[in-house]
């Protein structure tokens, strides 16, 4: 084997020397140390994230993939006693925008399509553009709520990026303005604002459900995490009869127009059960048209407006006198020449009655006659009778806005104050309270709580007056609608009708104004009372403003139709016009 030459030995020696100079130990250890530190930091960070604080990472991941979807519950249907729908929910859609996406994709450059969107939604064209530009960082903005299917279809066909539709429901009222005051109306969010819709909102609404899902980057559902089932709203059946409701509404609306009255109201109650059969007011409003929701139209005057009842309380004065033993069927009251002085004041009759029985006092509506009856008994007895039949207390219908009226309480009463109380001044009641009082009288003195929702609670009815005396007053009340009576226009051919008219001047600051309230209240048929009805005409204009002229004909029209609709057998009304 050949040995390396001298020159080759020199080259090998230099190579070994260079390799030794390239490998520097401390540098190697330094690099290894850096690697170990970096690795330790990464391991520590992973341990911190995974073990010490894992929730934050899970939370961040959920924000990007987990979505919660509300499952709205359908609002319950409101019906009348016969199952006729008064309020139903219909499917509609809401149009919403994603301004951030619209701006990012520069969708606003195609102005014509955006103008078309504004036109179909009934929005200002430039206002729509400004709204999107103003909220350019937001991801959700409502453009229009409760859009009908035809409009929603048009919006879809526009195919605008960043515009979406969301399913929701809208309340529809088939009866329109006829039952508006009683049924009420819901807001844009589906919750009740007035009437039954508000009072029973929780019952009708139910509980919405919730679905939690996980989506991937492409928006596909990859996991169903949880599902809370929704509880649908419960249906509600009212005691009113839509046929009677429509009949009464047409009558009061026509009366308000004929007499140019500020308003007109009517309420009908089932004497035997206390169920409200009809409750109407004019003017009314259309709950399907939100532009028609004006406060003066939306007042349910049957429960909100207090009025002095005038002569309509006189039957209860007679009933109180019989109950307290200060009068009987043979009692004769001398009303003199039609003027009675009490202190420095006078009580007048429209026409002199002379010596009158209890029946004639009611028939002729004698102020002096009921005044003398009231003065014969303690004032507490009269007030107790008023209160026991439902005057001066809320009805218990659970409707928003109801007032209790004004029921006087004094330590001392002058004789004239007692007199005014006897012919319906000095106290204020609502039409529903007056109807309740007449229903109690028609039920032969048995007080039955009134209601608009059927329930199975305990029986709270109780006797507040002797049946014999209540029957006696009902017979007297029938003569008021017969020849010579003050409510002859309230009569219904073929039926025995008991009714009392009333006319009261409206109170104002310091006294009474020149405006009047005309009333007629009564029950029918007298042989076996089925319904109680009260009609109120507020501020009739013109020469006719008495209850017997204005309210009595409306009472007759409503009562006639109601008795026929309810199939009440005629009870041989011998009175012929």
Separation of alpha carbons 175 and 183, rounded Å: 10
DSSP class of 341: E
Separation of alpha carbons 488 and 549, rounded Å: 10
**169 neighbors 75 (Cβ within 8 angstroms):** yes
pLDDT at 577: 41
Residue 316 has pLDDT above 90, yes or no: yes
Peptide bond preceding 283 in cis form (omega within 30 of 0): yes
| Token pair of 161 as six digits | 């990026």
pLDDT at 49: 75
> Residue 83 half-sphere exposure, CB side, CA atoms within 13 Å?
0
DSSP class of 546: S
DSSP class of 177: G
Helix count and strand count (H, E) for the chain: 21, 19
Separation of alpha carbons 120 and 155, rounded Å: 8
Give the CA distances from residue 22 to residues 16, 19, 30, 577, in Å, rounded to whole numbers and listed in that order.
Answer: 10, 5, 15, 135
**Backbone dihedral region for residue 176 (phi beyond 0: left; psi -120 to 50: alpha; all else: beta):** left
3-state DSSP helix/strand/coil % of the chain, to nearest 5: 40, 25, 35
Residue 507 has pLDDT above 60, yes or no: yes
Separation of alpha carbons 175 and 61, rounded Å: 52
Separation of alpha carbons 436 and 459, rounded Å: 17
Separation of alpha carbons 453 and 245, rounded Å: 16
Separation of alpha carbons 432 and 404, rounded Å: 10
pLDDT above 90 covers what percent of the chain? 53
**Span 92-119, average pLDDT:** 86
**What is the pLDDT confidence band of residue 11, given thresholds at 50, 70 and 90?**
low
Q: What would the pLDDT profile of 382-419 be if each residue is shown by its tens digit?
A: 999 999 999 989 998 999 999 999 988 888 889 999 99
The closest alpha carbon to 362, from 327, 408, 386, belongs to 327
Give the residue ranges of DSSP H helices in 146-299: 149-158, 180-183, 195-199, 201-205, 242-258, 295-298
Residue 28 has pLDDT above 60, yes or no: yes
The closest alpha carbon to 482, from 464, 465, 466, 500, belongs to 500
Which segment, 95-109, 259-273, 343-357, 404-418, is predicted with the most confidence on average?
259-273
φ/ψ of residue 463, rounded to 5? -80, 125
Bridge partners, residue 223, by sequence: 214
φ/ψ of residue 132, rounded to 5? -70, -45
| Token pair of 159 as six digits | 């195919």
Burial of residue 564 (number of CB atoms within 10 Å: 0-12, 13-18, 19+): middle
Give the CA distances from residue 111 to residues 97, 391, 506, in Å, rounded to whole numbers and listed in that order.
Answer: 16, 65, 60
**394 neighbors 405 (Cβ within 8 angstroms):** no
CB count in 10 Å sphere of residue 120: 17
Q: What would the pLDDT profile of 329-372 be if each residue is shown by its tens digit?
A: 999 999 989 899 998 889 998 888 899 999 999 999 999 999 99
pLDDT at 575: 46
**Span 12-17, average pLDDT:** 52
Element (H, E) at 519: strand 511-524
**Is the four-CA dihedral 351, 560, 440, 279 of positive or negative sign?**
negative
Residue 223 has pLDDT above 80, yes or no: no
φ/ψ of residue 160, rounded to 5? -95, 125
| Token pair of 103 as six digits | 């701006």
**434 neighbors 279 (Cβ within 8 angstroms):** no
pLDDT at 560: 96
The closest alpha carbon to 536, from 518, 563, 549, 553, belongs to 518
**Span 90-112, average pLDDT:** 85
DSSP class of 385: H
DSSP class of 48: I
Residue 90 has pLDDT above 80, yes or no: yes
DSSP state letters, 60-116: HHHHHHEEEEEEPPPPPPEE-TTS-EEEEEEEEEEEEE-HHHHHHTTGGG-HHHHHH
Separation of alpha carbons 317 and 315, rounded Å: 5
**Span 148-176, average pLDDT:** 87
- The pairing of strands 355-357 and 345-348 is unpaired
Among the ranges given (182-196, 315-329, 446-460, 559-573), the one the predictor scored with the smallest mean pLDDT? 446-460
**480 neighbors 363 (Cβ within 8 angstroms):** yes
Active site residues: 311
From first CA to last CA, the distance across the chain in angstroms is 158
Residue 23 has pLDDT above 70, yes or no: no
Separation of alpha carbons 190 and 203, rounded Å: 13
The closest alpha carbon to 254, from 537, 561, 521, belongs to 537
| Token pair of 255 as six digits | 């009366």
């Amino acid at each position: 084997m050949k040995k390396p030459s001298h020159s080759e030995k020199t080259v090998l020696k230099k190579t070994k020397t260079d390799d030794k100079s390239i490998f520097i130990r401390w540098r190697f250890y330094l690099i290894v140390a850096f690697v170990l530190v970096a690795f330790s930091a990464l391991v520590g960070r992973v341990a911190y994230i995974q073990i010490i604080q894992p929730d934050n990472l899970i939370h961040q991941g959920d924000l990007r993939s987990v979505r919660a979807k509300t499952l709205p519950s359908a609002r319950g249907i409101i019906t009348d006693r016969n199952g006729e729908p008064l309020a139903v929910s219909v499917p509609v859609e809401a149009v919403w925008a994603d301004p951030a996406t619209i701006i990012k994709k520069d969708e606003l450059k195609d102005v014509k399509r955006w103008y078309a969107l504004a036109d179909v939604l009934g929005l200002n064209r430039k206002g729509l553009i400004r709204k999107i530009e103003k909220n350019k960082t937001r991801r959700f903005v409502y453009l229009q709520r409760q859009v009908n299917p035809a409009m929603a279809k048009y919006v879809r066909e526009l195919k605008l990026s960043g515009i979406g539709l969301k399913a929701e429901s809208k309340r529809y009222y088939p009866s329109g303005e006829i039952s508006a005051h009683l049924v009420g109306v819901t807001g844009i969010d589906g919750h009740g604002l007035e009437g039954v819709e508000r009072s029973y909102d929780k019952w009708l609404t139910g509980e919405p459900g919730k679905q939690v899902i996980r989506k991937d980057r492409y928006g596909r559902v990859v996991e169903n995490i949880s599902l809370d089932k929704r509880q649908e709203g419960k249906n509600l059946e009212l005691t009113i009869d839509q046929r009677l409701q429509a009949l009464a509404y047409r009558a009061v609306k026509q009366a308000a127009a004929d007499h140019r009255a500020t308003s007109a109201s009517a309420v009908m109650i089932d004497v035997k059960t206390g169920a409200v059969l009809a409750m109407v007011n004019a003017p009314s409003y259309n709950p399907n048209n939100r532009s028609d929701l004006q406060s003066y139209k939306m007042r349910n005057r049957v429960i909100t407006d207090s009025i002095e009842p005038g002569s309509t309380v006189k039957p209860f004065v007679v009933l109180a006198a019989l109950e307290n033993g200060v009068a009987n069927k043979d009692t004769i009251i001398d009303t003199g020449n039609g003027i009675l002085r009490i202190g420095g004041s006078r009580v007048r009759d429209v026409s002199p009655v002379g010596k009158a029985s209890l029946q004639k006092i009611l028939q002729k509506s004698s102020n002096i006659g009921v005044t003398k009856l009231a003065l014969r008994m303690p004032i507490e007895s009269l007030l107790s009778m008023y209160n026991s039949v439902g005057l001066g207390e809320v009805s218990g219908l659970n409707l928003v806005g109801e007032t209790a009226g004004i029921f006087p309480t004094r330590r001392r009463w002058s004789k004239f104050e007692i007199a005014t109380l006897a012919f319906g001044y000095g106290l204020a009641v609502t039409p529903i309270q007056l109807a309740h009082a007449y229903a109690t009288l028609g039920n032969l003195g048995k007080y039955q709580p009134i209601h608009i929702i059927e329930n199975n609670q305990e029986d709270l009815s109780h006797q507040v007056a002797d049946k014999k005396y209540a029957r006696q007053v009902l017979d007297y009340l029938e003569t008021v609608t017969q020849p010579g009576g003050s409510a002859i226009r309230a009569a219904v051919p073929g039926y025995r009708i008991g009714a009392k008219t009333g006319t009261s001047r409206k109170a104002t600051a310091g006294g009474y104004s020149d405006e009047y309230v005309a009333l007629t209240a009564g029950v029918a048929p007298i042989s076996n009372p089925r319904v109680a009805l009260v009609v109120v005409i507020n501020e009739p204009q013109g020469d006719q403003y008495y209850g017997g002229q204005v309210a009595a004909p409306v009472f007759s029209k409503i009562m006639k139709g109601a008795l026929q609709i309810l199939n009440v057998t005629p009870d041989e009304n011998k009175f012929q016009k």
